[in-house]
Structure 1
Amino acid sequence: MCYEAVGLLPIKSLRPFCVYMLLGYGWSFVYSILLELQPGSFVSTDELGRNDYIGRMLQLRYFSFMTLTTVGYGDIVPHSPAARTMAILEAVMGQFYLVALVGRLVGLHIVHGDVERSR
């Protein structure tokens, strides 16, 4: 491709990153809905349930990405059974996504290597 000649990545290579980011953002909105329906669903060292919507969304986005990447610092903890279940689902989804992505990349590398050897 001409992208390789000039050292640029094609836009297609950014798709997995965008999907991963959308997963994190999507789960943060799910958590915000849960927090509205069940106040106290999350326990935080900070004030998570405050009236500041933007601050709460930023904290839930942080929690979402820490759960998606399975880092889990422990400063925000799911307290209700529904919040725990959703956190488990997000962590499993994040791991399966990464496994599928790595498998796809390895498969493409193997196919690309076979094509190069056949030339």
Structure 2
Amino acid sequence: MLLDHHTAGARMARWTPPAVFDNRSRHVDRFGTLLALTATSVVCLSLFGVDSLSDGLLPRLGGLAVTVSVGATLLLSLRAAGVALVWIRIADVVVGLSVALSLTLVVLGLVHTASPADANPTAAPVVWLVLSLAATVVVVARLLRHREVTLRTVQGAISAYLLISVSYYYLFRTVHDLQDGFFRTPANPPEFMYFSLSNLATLGIGDLVPRSRLARLLTVSEAVVGQVFLVTFVALIVGLLAERWRRRGDIAP
């Protein structure tokens, strides 16, 4: 009996959490497909938003398109970044359940049994927020491992930039739900994506104004993050290109 306890203790002492990255996946660095999916998600969020499953059949189909496109984007982000299989499987389950819920609500809408009070695919927006943030971070981590600039490097950098706007979209939506409003005036779900993109690009249009101190802080933080990202990755790409040219003898050492 003592031996069994000793063995169990030794096994627990040897246990380590699963690795975050495993670059053996065949999907690693598929940033061209990721860029296309990310752009599609941004378009869908700009047109439909995430509450569209509560108002009629066409908006429900739009909401389903949002869930599928964003879910596919996040899952491919993890795979393209070389995230370990165990974490990918967890994300697969979360996204799969969300897509199933969206499809169920669309079917309920066809038989006129759903009501506006029914749940939508982002009934747990914090989950989507965590997934989108994780996707952005792991893509950036993968790009930092590139030692040469290729077309995939550029595609990955643009994808990560757009993923920042998706992450802040869900962040703004979460704050909106918690504080009963994000802007001083009522706003539809697609306007949050418009606001996020405008913020990221530092356009400063001013037609939507955050109402609380937290909302204003998050608004400013997105602009700062976007600019830091651009400066950092432009410097990284220029540095890697200079190193490649130096090795080829195109410029003097």
Q: TM-score, normalised by structure 1?
A: 0.77
Paired with 2:194 and 2:157, the residues of 1 have a C-alpha distance of 20
State yes or no: 1:81 paired with 2:222: no
State yes or no: 1:21 paired with 2:162: yes
The one of the two structures with greater contact order (alpha-carbon pairs below 8 A, sep at least 6) is: 1
**CA RMSD of superposed structures (Å):** 1.9
The letter for the 2-side match of 1:26 is S
Q: Deviations over 1:24-48 (max 9, x none)?
A: 011011101111111243135xx41
Please tell me whether the aligned partners of residues 28 and 57 of structure 1 are also in contact (alpha carbons under 8 angstroms): no
Q: Which has the higher strand share?
A: 1
Other-structure match for 2:198: 66
Paired with 2:204 and 2:181, the residues of 1 have a C-alpha distance of 19
State yes or no: 1:37 paired with 2:178: yes
Q: TM-score, normalised by structure 2?
A: 0.38
State yes or no: 1:114 paired with 2:249: no
> 1:112: Cα distance to partner?
1.5
Paired with 1:106 and 1:92, the residues of 2 have a C-alpha distance of 21
Paired with 1:104 and 1:72, the residues of 2 have a C-alpha distance of 27
Identity %: 30
Paired with 1:101 and 1:61, the residues of 2 have a C-alpha distance of 23
Whichever of the two has the greater Rg, that structure is 2
Other-structure match for 1:6: none
> 1:12: Cα distance to partner?
3.6
Q: Helix, strand or coil for the counterpart of 2:209?
A: strand
Unaligned runs of 5+ in 1: 1-8, 49-55
Unaligned runs of 5+ in 2: 1-149
State yes or no: 1:96 paired with 2:244: no
